[in-house]
Structure 1
Amino acid sequence: MANVVQNGQAKRVSNGAIFAGCVVFVAGMVGMAYAAVPLYRLFCQVTGYNGTTQRVEQYSDKILDRTIQVTFDANISPGLNWEFKPAKAVTPKIGETLQIEYTATNRSQKATTGSAVFNVTPMEAGAYFNKVECFCFTEQTLQPGQSVNMPVVFFVDPAITKAEETRNIKTITLSYTFYPSEPAKPVAALPEGQKAVDKKL
């Protein structure tokens, strides 16, 4: 009889351990799913993979006596009633730092928020298109009828002329697409009474 009880307890412990393991596994998978997008975004920004441009903190210290055409593209996804205009094409020297501006206008009757993603074509050029300043991945909230100019400061890395797959590229296109997003909610303020208690503590 004692063996039967011990076996029953062992089975319950074993089942509980399996269940706990499953819960941990599922929670880990959910966490990885949420982390996948920002991690992939970071990977693309660092490597230029899939036409993603590089983010840098300083300007180029070398300018070549050779130009390259840079064109700009602007898109709006369904569900965001905005007008989005690209900058005019430019032809900088390779390594020269330029600032251009996109323009967005809210055509709806209410305040709306959007966030932009971007890529570069041809994709091989993404690793050499360096942005010092941009509005990508930053939420933009526009009031009804409001227009804003959004600057992009960039340069094309002179190393683009050395790589076999990029040295003959004559034109690069920087493309942005705005998607609707929910504005971040501000942190709720503490009641006055609670503030007074906190100060005493």
Structure 2
Amino acid sequence: MERDAGKPAPRTAGRKGIVIAVACAAFAVGMVGAAYASVPLYQLFCQVTGYGGTTQRAEAGSSRVIDRTVIVRFDGNVDGDLPWTFQPNDRQVTVKLGETRETSFHVKNNSDRAVTGQATFNVTPNAAGVYFNKIACFCFDNQTLQPGEELDMPIVFYVDPDMLEADELKNAPGITLSYTFFRVDDPDESVAAAPQTGTSTDTTNKL
């Protein structure tokens, strides 16, 4: 009887060991998957919520325009490693909420060689990001300028009238859209690391 009672014990311990091993493996796989998914999930979170001043992407203009205006200011910056001049052609514009507006930035390569740059952006106040919609933009596209080349890069946008429903924005405070260009030393590698980035200078429907 004592031997019979003792026989199941090794099998029970074995089953527990297998369960623990499977659980640990699943946890490890989950952690790796989370690590790979964290960047796109964070980008999606920012786009949906406007977190950190992230703007929204729109395929077309707003279907609603109201007789309430907001001042939109533009700011252009260049990292020290990039030999470019970059500035807005309009320092600020006054637009109606829901009105589609186009403006542009002027950029020039001051060096004697071709250089590639890429722009990041943000909107302040941060809470306005979820209401700032870009229909066309050069941001996050690799831009390659030849020696001495200069061009105007347009953006098309509108500010959603729903902004007035947010307590901190109901008085339609001024909005600042700020860009910073950084040098891209290996454009091909940059594209491979960030699938949402293109090498084309086509500015249609870019966020």
Please indicate the TM-score interval, normalised by the length of the shorter structure.
0.7 to 0.9
Please, which of 184, 190, 194 is the counterpart of residue 188 of structure 2?
A: 184
Aligned partners of 2:93, 2:47: CA distance in 1, in Å? 23
Q: Residue in 1 aligned with 2:59?
A: 57
**After superposition, where does 1:93-112 map in structure 2 within 5 Å?**
93-112=96-115
Shift, 1:60, TM fit? 0.5
1:4-33 CA-to-partner distances (Å, cap 9, x unmatched) read xxxxxxxxxx9xx89xx5xx949964x755
**After superposition, where does 1:43-82 map in structure 2 within 5 Å?**
43-82=45-84
Q: What TM-score do you get using the length of structure 2 for normalisation?
A: 0.72
Deviation beyond 6 Å, 4+ runs, structure 1: none
Q: Residue in 1 aligned with 2:137?
A: 134
Aligned partners of 1:42, 1:110: CA distance in 2, in Å? 36
Aligned partners of 1:116, 1:46: CA distance in 2, in Å? 21
Shift, 1:61, TM fit? 0.8
Q: CA separation of 1:109/1:137 partners in 2, compared to 1, >3 Å: closer, same or farther?
A: same
CA RMSD in angstroms, aligned pairs only: 2.6
1:105-125 CA-to-partner distances (Å, cap 9, x unmatched) read 111111111111110000111
**After superposition, where does 1:154-169 map in structure 2 within 5 Å?**
154-169=157-172
Q: CA separation of 1:167/1:27 partners in 2, compared to 1, >3 Å: closer, same or farther?
A: closer
Q: CA separation of 1:27/1:46 partners in 2, compared to 1, >3 Å: closer, same or farther?
A: closer
Contact map agreement 1:71 1:172 (CA 8 A) in 2: yes
Aligned partners of 1:81, 1:27: CA distance in 2, in Å? 43
Aligned partners of 2:106, 2:168: CA distance in 1, in Å? 33
Percent of aligned pairs with the same residue? 52
SS at 1:69's partner residue? strand
Aligned partners of 1:78, 1:39: CA distance in 2, in Å? 31
Q: Residue in 1 aligned with 2:118?
A: 115
Q: Residue in 2 aligned with 1:199?
A: none
Aligned partners of 1:27, 1:108: CA distance in 2, in Å? 47
Shift, 1:69, TM fit? 0.3
Contact map agreement 2:69 2:172 (CA 8 A) in 1: no
SS at 1:37's partner residue? helix
Shift, 1:157, TM fit? 0.2
- How many residues end up aligned between the 2 structures? 169
Q: Residue type matched to 2:79 in 1?
A: S
Q: What TM-score do you get using the length of structure 1 for normalisation?
A: 0.74
1:173-195 CA-to-partner distances (Å, cap 9, x unmatched) read 00011111122279xxxxxxxxx
Q: CA separation of 1:32/1:177 partners in 2, compared to 1, >3 Å: closer, same or farther?
A: farther
1:61-117 CA-to-partner distances (Å, cap 9, x unmatched) read 111111110000001112111110113110011110000001111111111111111
Aligned partners of 2:142, 2:37: CA distance in 1, in Å? 19
Shift, 1:42, TM fit? 3.0
SS at 1:177's partner residue? strand
